[in-house]
Structure 1
Amino acid sequence: MSINAELRGSVGLPGGGALVNGFAFESRCGGARRALLRNGQELEVYDLDELLGGERAPAAVFALPWSGWDRGVHSVSPDGAFAVFSGQRAVRAVGVGGEVLWEYRHGCWGPELGHPHSGDEQEVCRGSEHGSCRVSDDGLFVWAHVVHEEQEYWVVLDAQDGRELARLALDSATAGSHHVSHPDGIHMGLSIGMGQDGILLYWARWDGERLTSWDLNETMDRILIDVHPGHAGYLTLEHYGADLRLHALDGDVLAEAEPEADEFGDRPCWDYTCGFVDAGTVIVPVPEDEEFPDQAGHWLLDAHTLGIRGRVDYPDGAVAGYVRPLGDGTWLTYDGRTETLNRWGAGADDGQL
C-alpha cells in the first residue's frame, strides 16, 4: 500500500541536513522544538516552527567555546538563555553574550591513554570519540556523558553552577553518545555507540536527591531512537538495522517489526533515522541498496503494533534518505542538492495518521 505525502512547507537552510541526519534537533516536554545548527564558530538556535514559517533569524546565537572541536552533542536551556557544550576535556555552559557561566572539567576523549596536552585549551587531541550532554526539561540539571581517569560516567550537574550532583559508572568504551529526553520531563535516556563493539542503553531519573538508573544491556545491542509522545514506550533499533522494537520503560518488548521480505525471503535493513510521526504512527526508512531495489523509501508503521501500513509516495517520486519525525503528524526531509528542508504530512486522501 502507498500513502501519499503532502508538502506542508519548505525553507532553504544550508547545513540543515544535520536536522535529519545528526543531533541538531532538540525537542522539549510541552512541544518546543529547536534546530541547533553550527555556522562557522557559532551555534545558531532556531525555533523550528518559526523557521518553517519563514522566520530566518535565529532565536539565539552562542559562540562555540573550542575553535577546533567539531564533535560532541550539545544542548540549549529551555528558556534559551544558555547553551551547554560537550567538549573533548570539559562540559561548558555559555551565555547568549558569550560569557562562560561554568565549566566541568573531565578527562580527555582522545584515544591515547595518558597523552600529554600543551596547556592550550583550544588543542584538539587525535581521535573522533566524544560524549554528549542534555539540559533537563525543567532547566535545573545537565546530564552529561564524560570520562575520568579512563572510566566513563554519566553525571548529573547543577545547571546553575556546574556542580556534580550524582554520577553513574558506565561499562563503556565510547565512540560517541547521545541523550534522549523522555516527554514526561523526568526520565533521561543515554545511548552509547562503541563501533563494532555494540551499543549500550541506559535510562535514569534524578529526583534532586537520588539517581535511579536502569541498565538494559544484558539482552540488548540496540540504538535508542525515540520516545512515544504519549509515554506509551520507546523505540530501539538493532545495531545493524535488522529490526525495530517498541519497549516499555523497563525494557520489556511490546512490539517488533522487520522490513518486508523480497520474493526470495531476504530482507533489507531499517535505517536509524526513524521515530514517532505522532502517537499513532512511526516512520522508518529503508536505505537504497542494490540488493533490494524495490524496498528503498520511507515506511509508515502502526505505533502500537509496529505493523507496516505502507510506503510513503512523494509527489516527485524522488524523496528518499534520512527523515526526522516531529511527533505532530509531520516529518522532515532534506534535499542536499538545493539545501532545502521540507516538511511533510499524509495527504488528505489517506486520512489522519
Structure 2
Amino acid sequence: MDVRAERVGSVRLPGAARLVDGRARPAGPGRFALRRDDRLEVYDLTALLAGSTAPVAAFPAPWPGWDRGVDAVAPDLGLAVFSGQRAVRAVAADGRPLWERRHGCWGPVVDHPHTGDEQEVCPGLEHGSVLVPGDGTAVWAHVVGEDGREHWLVLDARDGRELARVPLEDSVASGSHQLALPDDGTVLLCVGMGQDGVLLYGARADGTGMSVRDLGEDLDRILLDVHPTRPGYLTVEHSCHDLRLHAPDGTVLAERDADELGEEGCWDHAAGFTDADTVLAVAEDPEGGAGHWLLDAATLALLGPVAYPRPVTGYARGLGDGTWLTHDRATDTLTRWRRAGV
C-alpha cells in the first residue's frame, strides 16, 4: 500500500543536491553545513524553505584548493573545523584562524615532497573527517599521523590541544565520515576503503582517554544515520543487499533484505530517520531509477512505497522531525515533504 506524501515547501538553491545526498553535514537542530566554492555555509532549513536563501553563518575555507575533507560546525555556530589534506584547522565566523593541528598528508604517494606552501594540494582524493558533537567542547578528527598510519583524535575545541588518540591499524581510507549518537556520548566513525570495503568504529572519551570498539566485524557496512531521539544507528551493506538497525554496541536490532523489494531489489546508499518511528530509504530498480520506501523504525518492516503528487526520483534525506528532503536536479530545487494525513 502506497504512503502518500504532501509537500511542505520548496526553494531553488544552487548546490542544494548536497543537502540531500549526504555530503552536507548537520550543524545543530534543523541546520546543515554546505560547502559552496570557498566557504562553508550553514542553512536553517525552515528559513530556507520559507524563501530566505541567505546562510545563517558562513566560514571561509582555509585551503580554497581543497574541498575533499568532511568538515564540521559547532552547534552554537561559534566555529567551523575543516578537515584538510595536511591539517585540521578551526576558523571563527569572521574568518580568524583559531587554531591548527598539523598531521601527515592524505596524498597516497609515499614520501612525496611538499613545498611548504599551505595552499598546495597534493594529488589524490583520499580524505579524513571531523565532527563537533554534543556541547561543542571537543573535536573528533580522523587523520593521517606523521608515522603514516591513520589515527582517531579527540581535540579540545578551544585550542586544538590533543585529549586522546587511538591508532586505526587496519584503516586505509579513501574517505570517512562521523556521526554522534544522541544522549549517549558515543561517536561513530565510518571509513570507506573503496574496493577494500568499509570499517565502522564506535568510541567514547572520558577526559583520560578514549575507548574504541570495532563495530564492523568484517561485515562491510556503511553508516547512514543515527536515531533522532535514542541511541541507535542505521547501516546498509556495501553491496546494498540489506538495511540494518543497530544498538550502540553494534547488536543488530532489525534487518530488511532488499529481496523483499523484488527479484532485483537493491537498497541504495541513502536512508535515514524521518522521525522516531519511521525510516525513509531509497531503493534502486532494474530500470536504473530510484524509488522511496517508508519503513518502521523499530522493525524495518516495509510500510509501503512513497507516492508523490508529481514524479520524484533521486536521493531523499530524512530530517528526524517527521519530514524529509528531495532534490530536483533539472531545476536545482529542494523540496520538503511529510506523510499526508499525519
Decide whether aligned partners of structure 1 residues 69 and 146 sit closer, same or farther in structure 2, where only a CA change above 3 A counts: same
Query: Is 2:141 the partner of 1:144?
Result: yes
Corresponding residue of 2:159: 161
**1: CA distance, partners of 2:41 / 2:120:** 23
Q: Report the CA distance between 1:96 and its aligned residue.
A: 1.1
Query: Is 2:3 the partner of 1:10?
Result: no
Query: Is 2:221 the partner of 1:228?
Result: no
Contact 2:183 2:231 survives alignment (8 Å): no
**2: CA distance, partners of 1:49 / 1:204:** 32
2:327 maps to which of 326, 334, 340: 334
Q: Report the CA distance between 1:27 and its aligned residue.
A: 5.0
Structure-to-structure mapping, 1:175-186, within 5 angstroms: 175-184=174-183, 186=185
1:136-188 superposed Cα distances (whole Å, 9 cap, x missing partner): 22110000000012100110000000011101111200000000111116211
Q: Partner amino acid for 1:50? A: A
**1: CA distance, partners of 2:232 / 2:340:** 27
Structure-to-structure mapping, 1:99-248, within 5 angstroms: 99-148=96-145, 149-170=147-168, 171-184=170-183, 186-248=185-247
Q: Report the CA distance between 1:231 and its aligned residue.
A: 1.4
**1: CA distance, partners of 2:335 / 2:305:** 18
Query: Larger deviation: 225-234 or 131-140?
Result: 225-234
**1: CA distance, partners of 2:53 / 2:32:** 12
1:299 maps to which of 293, 303, 306: 293
Corresponding residue of 2:21: 21
Query: Is 2:307 the partner of 1:313?
Result: yes
1:270-311 superposed Cα distances (whole Å, 9 cap, x missing partner): 011111111110110112432x87xx4100111111110100
Contact 2:254 2:299 survives alignment (8 Å): yes
1:90-145 superposed Cα distances (whole Å, 9 cap, x missing partner): 00001111111000000000010110011111111111000000112211000000
Structure-to-structure mapping, 1:253-332, within 5 angstroms: 253-261=252-260, 266-290=263-287, 296-316=290-310, 318-332=311-325
**2: CA distance, partners of 1:207 / 1:53:** 41
Name stretches of at least 5 consecutive residues in structure 1 with no aligned partner: none
Contact 2:144 2:151 survives alignment (8 Å): yes
**1: CA distance, partners of 2:313 / 2:266:** 14
Contact 1:261 1:267 survives alignment (8 Å): no
**2: CA distance, partners of 1:6 / 1:217:** 37
Query: Is 2:339 the partner of 1:346?
Result: yes
**2: CA distance, partners of 1:236 / 1:38:** 25
**1: CA distance, partners of 2:325 / 2:218:** 32
**1: CA distance, partners of 2:305 / 2:250:** 28
Contact 1:177 1:191 survives alignment (8 Å): yes
**1: CA distance, partners of 2:32 / 2:219:** 30
Corresponding residue of 1:66: 63
Name stretches of at least 5 consecutive residues in structure 2 with no aligned partner: none
Query: Larger deviation: 182-191 or 151-160?
Result: 182-191
Q: Partner amino acid for 2:56? A: A
Corresponding residue of 1:94: 91
Q: Partner amino acid for 2:154? A: V
CA-based RMSD: 1.5
Contact 1:9 1:342 survives alignment (8 Å): yes
**2: CA distance, partners of 1:160 / 1:77:** 11
Aligned length: 340
Q: Partner amino acid for 2:334? A: L
TM norm structure 2: 0.96
